[in-house]
Copies of this chain bind each other. A is one copy, B any other.
């Protein structure tokens, strides 16, 4: 069996997230079905780096799967895409050593959270951002975010989830940018807790609209208490951008 790595993008709007759930349309399911149809194998199991939630988008999700197919990588890309619905697309395929695991071998993941704070929401981008009713002060959001960089216990930014051994993670890159009415928050880390980027986004939006001072975020981080942080920002603003191995 060959171990094949795929990079893929999807519009999460009409998916109930990544992971297969009986009765729901998920990215994992449509991808596994497309590959199985192509290779004629009975059951294909894809293993993803990030199990994105309902409504979350991906530009560079990475998966691996084992298959007996002998198709060359570039042929695989075209053939899998021909079997996928048009809200998912594979951008590259590559044969990897047998030991490669898209989930365990990921060293860093970059997520982007997109916010629009202009007066008129865009009919074209409404599904790909969070619309803020307040104009946000990006300088104070940036100042507030500073304390989150590095290795910390992010329990305050984690939706409760059983079986989680530790909530210590390392944020290797964090930036808040603005262009016109668009703000995007980039967070790269060695791993993410459940809803972590969306909790950070909701917290920084509270700072940006002047509801909280920037210094509040360091207190929230130290509290290790989810109730202290801001709301979980909506899924539709979140993109899994890139995975580094």
Contacts and interface: CB of A to CB of B under 8 A. Distances in A.
B9 A77 contact: no
A87 B11 contact: no
A141 to B, nearest CB: 25
A9 B124 contact: yes
A17 to B, nearest CB: 15
Contacts of A11: 123-124
A65 interface: no
A120 B90 contact: yes
B10 A123 contact: yes
Interface residues of A, number: 21
One complex includes copies of this chain to the number of 2
A121 interface: yes
B123 A87 contact: yes
A120 B81 contact: yes
Contacts of A122: 9, 89
Q: Which 8 A-B pairs have the closest CB atoms?
A: A11-B123, A87-B123, A89-B120, A86-B126, A89-B123, A91-B120, A9-B123, A10-B123
Interface of A: 9-11, 57, 77-78, 81, 86-91, 119-124, 126, 128
Given A9-B122, A9-B124, A81-B121, 5 more contacts: A77-B120, A86-B121, A86-B126, A88-B123, A91-B120
